[in-house]
Amino acid sequence: MFSPPPALEAGPDDDQLLRVSLGPQHPSTHGVFRMNVVLDGETVVSLKPVFGYLHRNHEKIAESVTYLSSMPYTDRLDYICPLTNNWAYASAVEKLAGVEVPERAEYMRVILGELTRLINHTAFAGFILGDMGAWGSALMYAFREREKILDLFEDVTGARMMSNFMRFGGCRNDLPAGWVDKVSILVDEYGPFLDEMEKFLLGNEILLVRTRDVGQLPKETLINGGITGPMLRAAGVNYDIRKADPYGIYDRFSFRIPLGEKGDCYDRIMIRFLEMRESLKILRQALDQIPEGPFINPKAKIRNFKPPVGEVYARIEGPKGELGFHLISDGTVNPFRYRIRPPSFINLTLLEDMCLGLDLADVVIILGSIDIVLGEVDR
């Protein structure tokens, strides 16, 4: 049963408390989201998230269309990083149907996936500054670099953001001629950009004061809450699916998992910068090693694709955390059940625990440091 969110007019018993409807309400920030916050002066007493404004019925639609037709809908989940969403869904269906992926396609997926991680973390660095009130420079620098990667995506997939590129058993088309060289140039230029960005942001006293020791939670709470991704690693828990449960060809690359110490907002920003550097390492290795060959398994079926009866859960390490797809097949062209485990949504569940007792201004930074995209939260 749908129960309406608590009305703002229903005032608290204590008339010293103040109810505020807070939240990023503009689609260009994090999405459309609302928090019903009860404040005692500046201090947060209670915080109840209200979401669903961007609900698109993705899971139910997927049960009524064919397996392939769900692929473009996964682009719209986390619209900052569509290619990792494609990858997670494709790997779930491949596991279900037992389709092999050729070598070249695996390398293409790693390259595109790591570029997506760069996009996500770069955009995060811009957005978190926007949340602190520095709306402008940092976001523009981040988006300038993001646009270069998006141009590369357009050359390959045909669209900047709505890529719809991965297929069951490979990728849709081959890399265009000269694309690998273009990525190599970008990877070489990205290190200096990260240096510049770190100089620009991470020594800034205002940022230090506002993010240090804000929004900490004990490791146990984070693990019990199912938090994954950079949020968990910032608290010092060594858990990255690329290492813990290697998928694709990640076991071939040498890279390290950066870990934080405290798990406050500063660690969460820092960890993303360090992860970008590790992504650059993976990209360099993948660009050197990428072999020639088919980009899609020639036995893979495009039309009238019917996987055998079964149930799978496949997960990948998305830029925001563990992104998983749970599929149940009854042997027809449509999935019987299609369920997503979105990292943004699960990471958001501990928002209230992080915010209680802090100031109203800290809530905005904590929400920014979780790095949510409402397209994925609401689905």
Determine if 341 is a binding residue for another protein (CB under 8 A). no
Total of residues contacting another protein (CB under 8 A): 51
Indicate the residue among 135 and 200 with the shorter CB distance to another protein: 200
Tracing tokens 């010092």 back to the chain, one arrives at 236
Q: Fill in the DSSP letter of residue 359.
A: B
We find the least distance from the C-beta atom of residue 212 to another protein, in angstroms, to be: 7
Q: With contact defined as beta carbons under 8 Å apart, do 333 and 201 qualify?
A: no
Q: With contact defined as beta carbons under 8 Å apart, do 201 and 273 qualify?
A: no
Mapped onto helix, strand or coil, the DSSP state of residue 124 is helix
Among 133, 176, 191, 331, binds another protein (CB under 8 A): 176
Cα of 13 vs its chain's centroid, Å = 40
Those residues whose C-beta lies under 8 Å from the C-beta of residue 135, and which sit 6 or more positions away, are: 129
Q: Fill in the DSSP letter of residue 312.
A: E
Tracing tokens 């009238």 back to the chain, one arrives at 304
Indicate the residue among 185 and 309 with the shorter CB distance to another protein: 185
Listing DSSP states for 172-220 in one string gives SSPPPTTHHHHHHHHHHHHHHHHHHHHHHHTT-HHHHHHHTT-S---HH
Q: Fill in the DSSP letter of residue 315.
A: E
What are the tokens at 23? Answer: 């939240």
Among 42, 100, 181, 196, binds another protein (CB under 8 A): 196
Among 40, 63, 103, 155, binds another protein (CB under 8 A): 155
Indicate the residue among 14 and 205 with the shorter CB distance to another protein: 205
The Cα 224–Cα 245 span in angstroms is: 19
Q: Point out which span in 17-25, 95-103, 114-122, 259-267 binds another protein (CB under 8 A).
A: 259-267
CA nearest neighbour of 356 among 52, 48, 143: 48
Indicate the residue among 81 and 175 with the shorter CB distance to another protein: 175
We find the least distance from the C-beta atom of residue 338 to another protein, in angstroms, to be: 13
Among 32, 37, 71, 227, binds another protein (CB under 8 A): 71
135 sits in which H/E element: none
Query: Site residues for another protein, window 120-139 (CB under 8 A)?
Result: 137
Q: Point out which span in 36-44, 168-176, 215-223, 365-373 binds another protein (CB under 8 A).
A: 168-176
371 sits in which H/E element: none
Among 141, 168, 247, 253, binds another protein (CB under 8 A): 141
Query: Site residues for another protein, window 283-322 (CB under 8 A)?
Result: 302-303
Determine if 181 is a binding residue for another protein (CB under 8 A). no
Determine if 258 is a binding residue for another protein (CB under 8 A). yes
Query: Site residues for another protein, window 197-216 (CB under 8 A)?
Result: 199-206, 208, 212
Binding site for another protein (CB under 8 A): 65-66, 68-73, 137, 141, 154-159, 162, 164, 172-173, 176, 196, 199-206, 208, 212, 238, 243-246, 251, 254, 256-261, 267, 270-271, 274, 302-303
